[in-house]
Structure 1
């Protein structure tokens, strides 16, 4: 079996490559940032006519908070990547595509106010509604449009699976993301320990092992409707910081930076559809412990 992973040098992409290889796939990675190939996905979509048993499209531009809020023109490249990939998949008759969407595609109306926020279920995004709602910044618009492209490719005969990861994290995550940044600050025993925003923002943290295993379970079950990759459990930034510092063995003062990008107030997924296929195995406490052991090495 042959698989292609775009964005193969990124956080999700490199874990997906490893998991597919473990499953017996011959994996071809494609990432302009890769120190090995430095191959541009757009060039592949123009020139490569090979057929794969599975295409995992994880390529995107810097999907972290600072870039989402501070680099709105990333929308142009993300839309170009997604449209080129789906057009190529239809043209070359790819057998199966796994599209990594995002929880950022959900309407922010459900997430901006703690008083009205609620778990996000897949049916909150429906393209047959007059008002589909406003997603989270340009990155959310890109993923929402990508899902529309996914539906078009599906109608054209490609088997497409769409997953919406929530706050993925893991021991090798970069410091541009909250979990990676918190781990680095705890390793340095920073005091005060700075948190972007108020610290009260709630997220649904799902370990990268469960992101990858859950996504591949969706493919194996041949589910053709979008599926949240989430736990259904919300944890605030300040509580995550406390967990990380406790694992590091110190008790700092916590400071907040209200000028820094913070995102929505409450983003927790409804895992009902996922739980019919797969149940996450790594708790947040275990994930923090794993990451700290890895850092300590």
Structure 2
């Protein structure tokens, strides 16, 4: 029997990649997105779409009506700087929104088995005490965004203990790839690709020595597809286990496009951590998952796509 998945945030960056993969895999797909950052043109034919906020009572009614086997929850407020200026709205979307999704799942639990996938973030760890960061690393977010991504993890574990709702929680490293919007909190790779395509100045905040763990969106999708079939009822990092500095990222991009990228330096931004990379052994053990793309391969695919577009 065909499985049905409801993707929150399905018109956004990771969401659109997930939706296409689910369709290819034979799932029936329902998207719920309020289009605050998602785009209507990202929604493919062959899906059921509701323009709705995950915090609404309507959302619970949608879940009761559609009866998905799985809710893949990627709707979120993801801008660190926005969270610092608007902590209440950030918490409302990320914490109360997820709670509403859990309540919707609980409303269905008597009728059918339903499982959840929740997209968390490396931001929950804050400034690393040690590198690479494993799942036992202390939780000490330095932004409201990090706090608002962590709180739902606890709720999800308690809903599992109380009501038997299966779940998988993924703490993502820095995701990049096709479909990412360079505007707003686009992520450094999407901003860089945009500057390459438009041949404009790329801004480096700080000295450029800050490091991140950059993971291609196709690798994120493959982890989600595995957890869709086998919920792990725990949390794990989805990462490349590799640290790359901003200056290294620039150099790799310059090798791909075979020219220099013009840069300008500005001061560090508040709430940004200096160094980060995540271990991924747990995902390998529980899901038999490994990233398939090097940064150069993923970046080349992304640049090529936007150049042709």
CA distance in 2, matches of 1:219, 1:89: 15
Q: 1:220 to 1:285 in 2, by over 3 A?
A: same
1:81 to 97, 113, 125: 97
Instruction: Note if 1:19 corresponds to 2:26.
Output: no
Secondary structure at 2:55 match in 1: helix
8 Å Cα contact 1:161-1:218 kept in structure 2: yes
Q: 1:15 to 1:81 in 2, by over 3 A?
A: same
8 Å Cα contact 2:9-2:15 kept in structure 1: yes
Secondary structure at 1:3 match in 2: strand
8 Å Cα contact 2:126-2:273 kept in structure 1: no
Structure 2 gap ranges (5+) = 41-48
Instruction: Note if 1:288 corresponds to 2:303.
Output: no
Q: By how many angstroms is 1:226 displaced?
A: 0.7
CA distance in 2, matches of 1:68, 1:242: 31
8 Å Cα contact 1:4-1:54 kept in structure 2: yes
RMSD: 1.9
The total of aligned residue pairs comes to: 282
CA distance in 2, matches of 1:245, 1:64: 27
Bigger CA drift: 236-245 or 139-148? 236-245
Secondary structure at 2:192 match in 1: helix
Instruction: Note if 1:186 corresponds to 2:171.
Output: no
CA distance in 2, matches of 1:158, 1:235: 37
2:123 to 75, 94, 104: 104
Bigger CA drift: 227-236 or 28-37? 28-37
Partner of 1:31: 33
1:135 to 123, 138, 141: 141
CA distance in 2, matches of 1:262, 1:40: 27
Q: By how many angstroms is 1:259 displaced?
A: 4.7
2:61 to 47, 64, 68: 47
TM-score by length of 2: 0.85
Q: 1:188 to 1:17 in 2, by over 3 A?
A: same
Q: 1:198 to 1:67 in 2, by over 3 A?
A: farther
CA distance in 2, matches of 1:69, 1:201: 21
